[in-house]
């Protein structure tokens, strides 16, 4: 651990050696925390960036929304800061590639579909705009949702508990604050569809919404409480946030990867790891962890394809991951003439489900997914 007296000393250290995490105050002589973290982003883009400050004015927060991953207001309990640093260090353990580290650490938001972005700004700028309608629009888009929840989970605003429900987040921040964040701080951005197939992105968005909705219903059937249900739906909706991060930054690489999968018919996780060094699930889970999302949400995104890789306690059935894993496979229609159980077993982690005593629930969960598909048609 290294300590610096002011931004100048910090920059000298950053120019001399690799740093994993930078924690800075906001008010410093010469260069403030926001300006320092802007420099950190350039010098060492893979480093995690945290503000710890007694300076909590709105303008200061707006200036750090981009360069900082998390913002904590003094006095801050030591364990909260330790946990934030622990999460930041886990990025390096999960992602070995410097390019992927820089990609995740450099992300300030996930782009939204242009139509959702336009609808939201129209609502925010309308004299009759309402928090409930703004929340409804945000909840229809993965990029808008994750960019908003990043702020309510990363400590930028002094909210006592984690929030995974969009309407609750909008109500806690207030309609005027959401409007200011959108217009003045620029927390939302739209996809530029020139380098990527926007129809593919729309399909991914629709699938993400379906996973979230079905996962919530499966979790409800498993007896999860309200907070866990919100976490489950949030994790299901954000399960493919890593894919959106990749498409928005490396569209050419992802298009080539997709064409290769179409030719080979192989699995997406193995193909991504071979081509990129990590899967979309790992990228998404690490990003949400860096942004301060709760452990159940991070774990559900990180392991939604491979739940056996996550360590579990005795109440694993109550975990959001179980419902997200089941939902993302069971929402797929069964090919004509294929035995349903065989089709489900090809995608689900059967060894894991048998180990936690949930294999007998698959048919029930599949019925939930089928009913949801019928509601959508």
Which pLDDT value is given to residue 314? 43
CATH superfamily entry for domain 7-94: Response regulator (3.40.50.2300)
Contact 324, 235 (CB under 8 A): yes
Residues 324, 215: Cα–Cα separation, whole Å: 5
pLDDT, one tens digit for every residue, the chain (377 residues): 899 888 999 999 999 999 999 999 988 888 988 899 999 999 998 899 999 887 666 777 788 888 889 888 888 889 989 988 988 888 778 888 889 989 999 888 899 999 999 999 999 999 999 999 999 999 999 999 999 998 887 677 767 667 889 999 999 889 998 998 888 777 888 887 666 677 888 899 999 999 999 999 999 999 999 999 999 999 999 999 999 999 989 988 888 888 888 776 668 899 999 999 999 999 999 999 988 898 899 999 999 999 998 875 445 667 899 999 999 999 988 888 888 888 888 889 999 999 988 999 999 999 999 998 777 66
Q: Nearest CA to 178 among 144, 205, 142, 209? A: 144
Q: From CA 75, how far away is CA 107, in angstroms rounded?
A: 28
With residue 75 as reference, give the H or E element that holds it.
none
Q: In the block, which residue shows the tokens 């300030």?
A: 108
- Residue 72 burial by CB count (10 A; 0-12/13-18/19+): exposed, middle or buried? buried
Q: Which CATH number fits domain 197-376: 1.10.3210.10, 3.30.365.10, 1.10.10.60, 3.50.50.60?
A: 1.10.3210.10
Q: Omega into 205 within 30° of 0, i.e. cis?
A: no
3-class state of residue 327 by DSSP: helix
- Report yes or no: 210 and 377 within 8 Å, Cβ to Cβ: no
What integer pLDDT is reported at residue 97 of this predicted model? 86
Determine whether 39 is exposed, middle or buried from the number of CB atoms within 10 Å of its CB (0-12, 13-18, 19+): middle
* Structure token digits, residue 86: 């622990």
User: Interior CA angle at 165 toward 119 and 284, to 5°?
Assistant: 85
- Distance (Å, whole) CA 137 – CA 224: 26
Q: Indicate the domain borders of the chain.
A: 7-94, 114-185, 197-376
Q: Which residue from 151, 125, 120 is spatially nearest to 136, judged by alpha carbons?
A: 120
């Amino acid at each position: 651990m290294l300590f610096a007296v002011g931004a100048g000393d910090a920059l000298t250290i950053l120019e001399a050696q690799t740093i994993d995490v930078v924690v800075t105050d906001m008010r410093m002589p010469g260069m403030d925390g926001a300006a320092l973290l802007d420099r950190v982003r350039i010098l060492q883009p893979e480093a995690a960036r945290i503000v710890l400050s007694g300076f909590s004015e709105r303008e200061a927060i707006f200036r750090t929304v981009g360069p900082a991953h998390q913002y904590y207001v003094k006095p801050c309990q030591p364990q909260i800061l330790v946990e934030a640093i622990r999460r930041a260090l886990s990025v390096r353990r999960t992602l070995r590639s410097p390019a992927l580290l820089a990609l995740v650490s450099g992300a300030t938001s996930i782009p939204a579909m242009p139509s959702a972005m336009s609808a939201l700004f129209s609502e925010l700028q309308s004299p009759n705009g309402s928090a409930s309608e703004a929340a409804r629009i945000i909840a229809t888009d993965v990029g808008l949702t994750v960019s908003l929840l990043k702020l309510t989970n990363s400590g930028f605003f002094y909210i006592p508990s984690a929030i995974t429900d969009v309407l609750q987040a909008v109500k806690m921040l207030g309609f005027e604050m959401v409007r200011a964040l959108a217009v003045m701080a620029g927390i939302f951005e739209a996809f530029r569809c020139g380098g990527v197939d926007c129809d593919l992105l729309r399909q991914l968005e629709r699938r993400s919404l379906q996973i979230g909705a079905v996962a919530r219903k499966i979790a409800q059937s498993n007896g999860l409480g309200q907070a866990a249900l919100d976490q489950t739906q949030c994790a299901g909706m954000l399960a493919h946030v890593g894919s959106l991060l990749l498409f928005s930054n490396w569209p050419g690489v992802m298009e080539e990867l997709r064409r290769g999968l179409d030719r080979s018919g192989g699995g997406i996780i193995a193909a991504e790891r071979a081509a990129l060094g990590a899967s979309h699930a790992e990228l998404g889970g690490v990003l949400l962890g860096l942004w301060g999302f709760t452990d159940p949400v991070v774990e559900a995104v990180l392991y939604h394809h491979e739940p056996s890789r996550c360590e579990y306690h005795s109440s694993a059935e109550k975990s959001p991951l179980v419902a997200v894993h089941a939902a993302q496979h069971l929402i797929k229609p069964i090919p004509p003439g294929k035995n349903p159980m065989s089709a489900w077993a090809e995608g689900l982690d059967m060894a894991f489900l048998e180990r936690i005593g949930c294999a007998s629930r698959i048919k029930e969960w599949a019925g939930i997914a089928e009913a949801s598909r019928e509601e959508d048609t």
